């Protein structure tokens, strides 16, 4: 399929027109930072939930999950279980706490607990991690889209990036959320289309596919041995998912900012629950796509072209899904899935851009310019969106030109800098004894560990020191969180307790207030400045 058919192009054009129209629809409302960053706290819970779903299901998900299931089993699905698990354990407390403890940035909390240094570090960790993602998210859509259309990969990256920056820049978080509602629906339609086509053309039907997959253990969740040094181990992935989603719920601006847009605490909880409830079935569906692809090519006996083979003569798993889309999806339906691919990249990028802007304004610019007006902060926020969007497009184009291995050093550096945020939150929220001196000792040790593990044994291994990290890559993050928590807590006993600590900043004081007063007292309420 060297080019898309007319019906497919119409579907894609309608999608792009829709997201642009939404951006223009909300542009006139963006007159304050309150509107630009938290949508005047007026978003209904169902829209918030679809927004969270669209943000989390990125273009990386579209390619990586089917590729992993085609090559192996469903082990990659295991961390997603903790999206629901952590929400059930801590959701009501975390969401209510953040809605009353911070104004627009999740990292305000760390300043109140440990001082501005902790806030600046945690905000920098967020920025580094999400910058390393945006360009790669743009790049990952090119393999499928350019394979289906024959379009130039640089044109795709630049076009998608420009449209995304446009509606994010003019429409603020309100436009981001409502475009994500559309994008979430498109993603679900795309999934339904692909699974429907696979089941329709499957030799022997669905029964033959599932029987073959079962016989070959293609839907297993990994080894259940308690061996944390083993790749593909169920418990390793569950532990990784626990810390990953704790960090997402408690120390990631993209989610905490969503808590703040809801009208009430109850609406915020409903929205987050809806997002998690949609994500787990969607991840399962992507794994199912990979398994069905494997079964289809096994049962049909169809081969692959040479460009899909590696040097050992084995098919490149991540390329099978784009190849299937290129050769098997009918006219019109291909356009729906193309729109889903575009939406996967755009929803993640737009959310990250607005959140990076909020962090830049609230955590850094306001500190440098404490007397700035709201109008000035809004202008700087829009400048940050434009600049970060341009850099993300450049990173995506650079990866397309040089290959992702060219950015090995960059990804290693961002992995090191962003270490330990979940451990930092656990230390702050669950320990009355933890203090800033202990925290920094924990952070420094975590950075040293992460640097050693990432550079000597991670995915982008750069050094051989003779004594290298040999455990699974996902355990690097787990180790960093645990080091911040354990070392930070132990080191805190070497210094005097923080006499200025407000118990409300820990879970114990927060729960006590909720119990004694019926509702939590708003601590250090945020005064919303409105300038003429």
The domain locations on the chain are 6-402, 404-516
Q: How many CB atoms lie within 10 A of CB 77?
A: 22
The CA-based dihedral angle spanning residues 115, 118, 121, 126, taken in that order and rounded to the nearest 10 degrees: -110
pLDDT at residue 405, as a whole number: 47
- Residue-wise pLDDT tens digits, 413-432: 555 556 689 999 999 999 99
Cα–Cα dist 307/296, whole Å = 20
pLDDT tens for residues 321-363? 878 877 887 766 777 878 888 888 888 889 999 999 999 999 9
For residue 412, the model assigns a pLDDT of: 52
- Fold annotation for 6-402: Sodium/glucose cotransporter (1.20.1730)
Closest C-alpha among 339, 497, 496, 480 to residue 417: 480
Average pLDDT over residues 263-268: 91
Mean pLDDT, rounded, of the chain: 85
Report the C-alpha gap between 331 and 229 in whole angstroms. Answer: 47
- Residue range 290-294: mean pLDDT, rounded: 94
Residue predicted with more confidence, 313 or 21: 21
Q: What is the mean pLDDT of residues 483-500?
A: 92
Question: What is the per-residue pLDDT across 431-463, written as a single tens digit (0 to 9) for each?
Answer: 999 999 999 999 999 999 988 988 888 666 777
521 pLDDT higher than 50: no
For residue 522, the model assigns a pLDDT of: 43
pLDDT band for 114, please (50, 70, 90 cuts): very high
Q: Which residues contact 520 (CB under 8 A, 6 or more apart)?
A: 96, 97, 100, 504, 510, 513, 514
Q: Buried (b) or exposed (e) across 169-182, using 16+ Cβ within 10 A?
A: bbbbbbbbbbbbbb
pLDDT single digits (tens) 209-253: 999 999 999 999 988 988 888 888 899 989 988 998 898 899 999
Distance CA 325, CA 307 (A): 16
Most confident of 9-23, 258-272, 388-402: 258-272
Residue of higher predicted confidence among 502 and 213: 213
pLDDT (mean) for 148-176: 88
pLDDT at 36: 93
- Give the model's pLDDT for residue 415: 56
pLDDT score of 9 more than 80: yes
Q: What is the dihedral of CA 171, 173, 179, 182, to 10 degrees?
A: -150
DSSP for 120-184? HHHHHHHHHHHHHHHHHHHHHHHHHHHHHH---HHHHHHHHHHHHHHHHHHHHHHHHHHHHHHHH
Least confident of 221-230, 256-265, 509-518: 509-518
Alpha helices by DSSP H, 403-470:
408-417, 421-430, 436-457
Query: Quick one: pLDDT at residue 130?
Result: 81
Task: Write down the pLDDT at residue 460.
Answer: 62
């Amino acid at each position: 399929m060297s080019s898309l058919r007319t019906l497919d192009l119409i579907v894609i054009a309608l999608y792009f027109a829709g997201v642009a129209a939404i951006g223009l629809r909300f542009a006139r409302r963006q007159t304050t930072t309150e509107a630009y960053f938290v949508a005047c706290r007026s978003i209904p819970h169902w829209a918030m939930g679809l927004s969270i779903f669209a943000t989390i299901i990125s273009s990386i998900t579209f390619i990586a999950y089917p590729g992993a299931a085609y090559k192996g089993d469903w082990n990659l699905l295991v961390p997603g279980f903790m999206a629901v698990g952590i929400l059930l354990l801590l959701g009501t407390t975390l969401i209510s706490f953040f809605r009353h403890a911070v104004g627009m940035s999740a990292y305000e909390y760390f300043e109140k607990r440990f001082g501005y240094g902790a806030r600046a570090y945690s905000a920098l960790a967020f920025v580094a991690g999400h910058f390393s993602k945006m360009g790669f998210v743009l790049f990952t859509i090119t393999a499928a889209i350019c394979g289906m259309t024959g379009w130039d990969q640089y044109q795709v990256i630049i076009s998608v990036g420009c449209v995304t920056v446009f509606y994010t820049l003019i429409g603020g978080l309100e436009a981001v959320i409502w475009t994500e509602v559309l994008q979430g629906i498109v993603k679900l339609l795309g999934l339904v289309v692909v699974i429907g086509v696979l089941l329709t053309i499957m030799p022997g039907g669905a029964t033959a596919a599932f029987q073959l997959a079962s016989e070959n253990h293609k839907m297993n969740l990994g080894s259940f041995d308690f061996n944390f040094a083993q790749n593909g181990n169920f418990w390793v992935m569950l532990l990784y998912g626990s810390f990953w989603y704790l960090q997402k719920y408690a120390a990631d601006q993209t989610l905490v900012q969503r808590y703040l847009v809801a009208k009430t605490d109850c609406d915020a909880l409903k929205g987050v629950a809806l997002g998690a409830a949609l994500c787990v079935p969607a991840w399962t569906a992507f794994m199912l796509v990979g398994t069905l692809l494997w079964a289809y090519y096994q049962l049909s006996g169809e081969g692959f072209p040479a460009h899909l083979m590696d040097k050992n003569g084995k098919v490149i798993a991540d390329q099978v899904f784009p190849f299937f889309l290129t050769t098997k999806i009918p006219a019109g339906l291909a356009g729906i899935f193309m729109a889903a691919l575009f939406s996967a990249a755009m929803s993640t990028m737009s959310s990250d851009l607005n959140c990076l802007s909020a962090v830049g304004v609230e955590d850094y610019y306001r500190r440098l310019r404490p007397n700035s007006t709201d109008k000035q902060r809004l202008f700087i926020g829009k400048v940050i969106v434009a600049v970060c969007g341009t850099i993300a497009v450049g990173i995506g184009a650079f990866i397309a030109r040089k290959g992702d291995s060219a950015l090995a050093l960059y990804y290693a550096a961002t992995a090191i800098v962003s270490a330990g945020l979940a451990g930092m939150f656990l230390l702050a929220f669950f320990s009355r004894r933890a203090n800033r001196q202990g925290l920094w000792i924990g952070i420094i040790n975590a950075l040293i560990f992460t640097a050693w593990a990432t550079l000597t044994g991670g995915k982008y291994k750069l050094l051989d020191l003779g004594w290298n990290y040999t455990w699974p890559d996902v355990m690097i993050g787990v180790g960093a969180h645990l080091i911040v928590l354990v070392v930070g807590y132990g080191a805190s006993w070497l210094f005097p307790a923080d006499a200025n600590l407000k118990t409300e900043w820990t879970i114990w004081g927060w729960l006590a207030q909720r119990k004694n007063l019926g509702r939590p007292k708003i601590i250090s309420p945020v005064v919303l400045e409105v300038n003429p």
